[in-house]
Amino acid sequence: MQSFESWGFHDEAQVLKYYTYITSTSAPILSVSPPTADCSPTTTSAEAPLTLDLATLEKRITELESKMLIELETPGRRGGNDECVSRVYDEVKSLKQYSSLWTWVPKTYYKLSLPERSKILRTTVPQLCKSMLMENKSFKDTNSNSQNSRFYLVVVQYCSSIDVKKLEGEVRGLLPVKDRLTSKDYTFSVAKETDSDDLTGFKHNSVSPFGLCSKIPVILDKSIAHLETPFFWMGGGHPDLKLGMSVNDFLKAGGIVCDIDVDK
């Protein structure tokens, strides 16, 4: 039996989402016979439909993928700042992040334990993540490289924490050797809430790596990139809205993988 990767899917969540749309449409892509008991491919009657023109298949798949994005739950269901959620939604849609999933959570979400939150999202605790704006207090604007920034948005697991020394070393290593600054040029700490609000455009508990108001490098902790199930949840622009996405899709959007969490 072929794996979901052989069909171009990144993870089980994407397969499930795609299958849901295929089975809900009145015009199936292919009329194939049910699989045999051992899941081996069938022949005879299934062979004819499989000769369907490739261009027709590609067109049908494109239509289905577009439908998947268009039908994502739109902002406004729970009030609040719709503009913030719209920014996140619009960027995810423009990037064609087909693995994206959106879930509204109860207003008591942040009063719950991590295991309780994971049950609401039907996921595991390691897949629950947050985005934090970190500031280099020793920043010197002497290097034009885009990776040399005063601020970085860091995505880390809720069950972990940031090791600022590792973050300093990883950020320093992003620069070419000839442009690399000294270790004394890096002193990281969590940015002030006012700076986070202004630069990200999001309030506390709603920060998302998508739809940012400023161009800020986004760092994904290595532990998230190496999750057993490569899919994780993050803020969606509203305290009650969570955005799930495959690691592959996230990295295609420009996230940088760095080893920045405290060693367990």
Same domain, 133 and 203: yes
Same domain, 119 and 228: yes
Q: Does 78 reside within a domain?
A: no
Same domain, 58 and 97: no
pLDDT tens profile 90-108: 999 899 888 888 899 999 9
Same domain, 136 and 168: yes
Same domain, 31 and 125: no
Residue 59 is predicted with a pLDDT of 74
> Residue 53 is part of which domain span?
4-70
Q: Does 149 reside within a domain?
A: yes
Question: What are the distances in angstroms from CA 48 to CA 7, 80, 208?
Answer: 20, 53, 47
Same domain, 98 and 203: yes
Residue 232 is predicted with a pLDDT of 97
Residue that the structure tokens 């532990």 belong to: 223
Count of domains for the chain: 2
Residue 11 is predicted with a pLDDT of 56
Same domain, 156 and 224: yes
Ranges of the chain with pLDDT below 50 = 1-2, 4, 6-9, 18-19, 21-50, 70, 73, 75-76
Chain Cα centroid distance, residue 42: 37
Phi-psi category of 79—alpha, beta or left, where left has phi over 0 and alpha has psi -120 to 50?
left
Q: Does 132 reside within a domain?
A: yes
Instruction: Identify the H or E element spanning 235.
Output: strand 231-238
Residue 196 is predicted with a pLDDT of 96
Same domain, 47 and 140: no
Residue 75 is predicted with a pLDDT of 45
Query: Given CA atoms 86, 91, 97, 100 in this order, what sign does their dihedral have?
Result: negative
Question: Could you tell me the two tokens for 57?
Answer: 């298949």
Residue 28 is predicted with a pLDDT of 41
Residue 142 is predicted with a pLDDT of 73
Q: Which residues of 137-154 are buried (b: 16+ CB within 10 A; e: fewer)?
A: eebeeeeeeeebbbbbbb
Residue 71 is predicted with a pLDDT of 52
Q: Does 184 reside within a domain?
A: yes
Q: Does 81 reside within a domain?
A: no
Q: Does 64 reside within a domain?
A: yes
Q: Does 76 reside within a domain?
A: no
Same domain, 111 and 143: yes
Q: Does 31 reside within a domain?
A: yes
Same domain, 22 and 97: no
